[in-house]
Amino acid sequence: MSKKMTEIRWHGRGGQGAKTAALLLAEAAIDVGKYAQAFPEYGPERTGAPVRAFTRIADAPIRLHSPIENPDTVVVLDPTLLDVVDVTEGLPSGGVVIINTSASKQEMAAKLRQQDQLRLYVIDATKLALETIGRPIPNTVMLGALVGATEVLPFDVLVEDLRDKFSKKFSPSIAEMNVEAVKRAYEEVKKA
């Protein structure tokens, strides 16, 4: 009997890295023998425009090729989206919502439908990104938070995959800054 497919919907704004985070997670899953897919959905391609990205991870081939309507987890890179988008749409009772915000968990819960039926995590990913990589791009931080909250992949797998990819694409020092961001987010969410 095969395990259930994990479906993650990412909400962000153009330039925050939602598409990149979705792809990095899928690539890490594939690198450990899972089946995965990741793709974005957006309207006008411009910085600041709302975007959605999707990641599916499974133990068996994925035959579904459509946007995720009933995610297990929702990752929100920009909390202002809660005022214009129902990020919990299709999320089942017990679903996970992870929000990048400096606001409290209670403040964010008040903005969500079915708030008492969700597993809500908040993390100031933008602040962590500034402290670790020197740029206000929260995507790798949110990957650490996601793995901490859901254990969708083993943490060490994510870290090594990011270290390898960022070292090859950018430099070992940029890779280590991103690894530090992921580690701090993972630890912070684990404490919540």
The edge-to-edge listing of strands for the beta sheet with 6-13 is: 35-42, 50-58, 6-13, 73-76, 96-100, 119-123
- What are the average pLDDT values for consecutive 10-residue runs of the chain, which has 192 residues? 81 92 97 95 74 96 94 97 93 95 94 84 98 96 97 96 96 97 96 80
Single pTM value for the model:
0.94
Provide the CATH topology of domain 6-191. Pyruvate-ferredoxin Oxidoreductase; domain 3 (3.40.920)
